[in-house]
Chains A and B, each alone.
Chain A
């Protein structure tokens, strides 16, 4: 008994550092942000004093009212969600075949391909975004090829750079490894005997994929989707650098509130809404996943 009680104490002790970490770097900042969202903006930016000159505590809903009152913010939210969704979907469509090829390769080729997937992380994030400026720029081979093609078709040349297209391409490029890795980790564990069994029972190549491989890879799909969707939802650097004036996403607005407009309460409201939106979408996805899973259980597909 003594040793079990001792084990329990040790277990609690071990969990103290991560708990402190979470409190210091997650719970406290979130709390600060929630409080800030109810405060007034300061005269020269930042926050007005919590306790006013008259001794009253200054907490109000003005920033929330502003968020709800101006439809532009909701529109930008919606655009950000759609952009993040398109990024996730494109990443999934590109990453799935790649992850499958890697998972089914020999050990040596597999290691090499995984290295290539991770390799972009070795250079700076901003440098990689600027690289896309050159690739998509008007002097780049790609833009010239597109313009040449358009001129043959008799259409006006277009600018690839500073467009929603450039933003999406770079979002997909940056987030692709986060989709490939969890998918690979899942697919690599699949039992070949299940595919043999499916084939033996009359399933052709597509049916084997759709009824066995894909449903079994769903945990990897969900993990990859979360790893891509959530960062893509809040990103500001890519639309800042590669997007046009109309390609502003919610991340840019939040950055603006804190760094340029210096309206911290409103920035806090936008951040909270972003967190709430991400959580709500995650909950929705989980609910759809569970309902779909139950249906698959019933139908056996």
Chain B
């Protein structure tokens, strides 16, 4: 049995359906991420789990027990808020001790527990500081220590790293991963940042317009997106579509506008005559000069139309002679190597039959 079971949960605000019939099972010890653009319902779902809001339909069960009718203070679930929500009139120690006092832990035991918790988040010696005397990263760690001190079975994190700068965010990501492994508490993490979701999670639920589009491990979400939305939202992606022409020997030919016949590995529902779409990651597309012999299963010639220099890689937008636009990229691994091609250069692009991935919708 899963630790947290979300069963057919619906939440409406007037005519707007914020959470639309969501089913998710989250296992004990998992680092689970709800990922989606703003307004997709991920934060509403988090508030439903915490108890700040109630579902219109469906049930949420923790350890098999229905949470309906329990106000937030009676749910054994803790939340780390985006703004940290540290109590400004209490010291770091006071903040971390707060849940213990609410749980009527004997005063004699509190000091030792607080000291241990601050040690765990590397904040020893900060106990007497007030929140406004801390940096963003330190506030973050106080918020986590405060939420974890009563050893809840489930920790909810609402975009906790959104307010930090990029460098610190990466550091905190590493810390979160090791902390979660250490304490063994189930994390449910909400973010709109797909790289963060891929880096942190054991499993990700991609949400769009209140619905769950796909629940999978990060590598499967990235390599085998099920829908057009997931393919597009996670990383960069060429989504190509057309009519299935033939289906033989595990391969299908698809007639894509601007490219012509493209051969890819068959997926579900790829019968002749069907409309089909497939996702092709830029890094799976080979980019070669006009004279290099290309032995790819699919290859086309075209011209470079746009260049984006990203530092580690350079993204090239190639327009094929028949008119399709394909995004590809090259790693800038050579010394001082900024770009292999210039805008307007003739190039060839190609990819293997198994490079693309069929989308179900």
**Residues in chain A within 8 A of chain B (CB atoms):** 191, 193-194, 196-204, 207, 211-212, 215-216, 296-301
Contacts and interface: CB of A to CB of B under 8 A. Distances in A.
Interface of B: 50, 52, 71-73, 77-79, 81, 83, 85-91, 93-95, 97-99, 101-103, 128, 130, 146-147, 150
B73 A193 contact: no
A200 B78 contact: yes
27 contacts: A191-B83, A193-B81, A193-B85, A194-B85, A196-B72, A196-B85, A197-B79, A198-B98, A199-B71, A199-B73, A200-B50, A200-B73, A200-B77, A200-B79, A201-B102, A201-B147, A202-B73, A202-B103, A203-B102, A204-B73, A211-B98, A212-B87, A296-B94, A297-B90, A297-B91, A300-B94, A300-B98
Given A297-B94, A300-B97, A300-B98, A196 B88 contact: no
B83 A193 contact: yes
Contacts of B83: 191, 193
Given A202-B102, A203-B73, 16 more contacts: A194-B87, A197-B86, A198-B98, A199-B73, A200-B52, A200-B72, A200-B79, A201-B102, A201-B147, A202-B99, A202-B103, A211-B87, A298-B91, A300-B91, A300-B97, A301-B90
A207 B102 contact: yes
B150 to A, nearest CB: 8
A60 to B, nearest CB: 52
Nearest to A299: B94
Most buried by A among B52, B78, B98: B98
Contacts of A301: 90, 94, 101
Nearest to A204: B73
B88 A216 contact: yes
Nearest to A212: B87
A201 B146 contact: yes
Nearest to A297: B91
Nearest to A215: B89
A100 B58 CA distance: 35
B89 A201 contact: no
Contacts of A212: 87
Nearest to A296: B89
A211 B83 CA distance: 19
B90 A196 contact: no
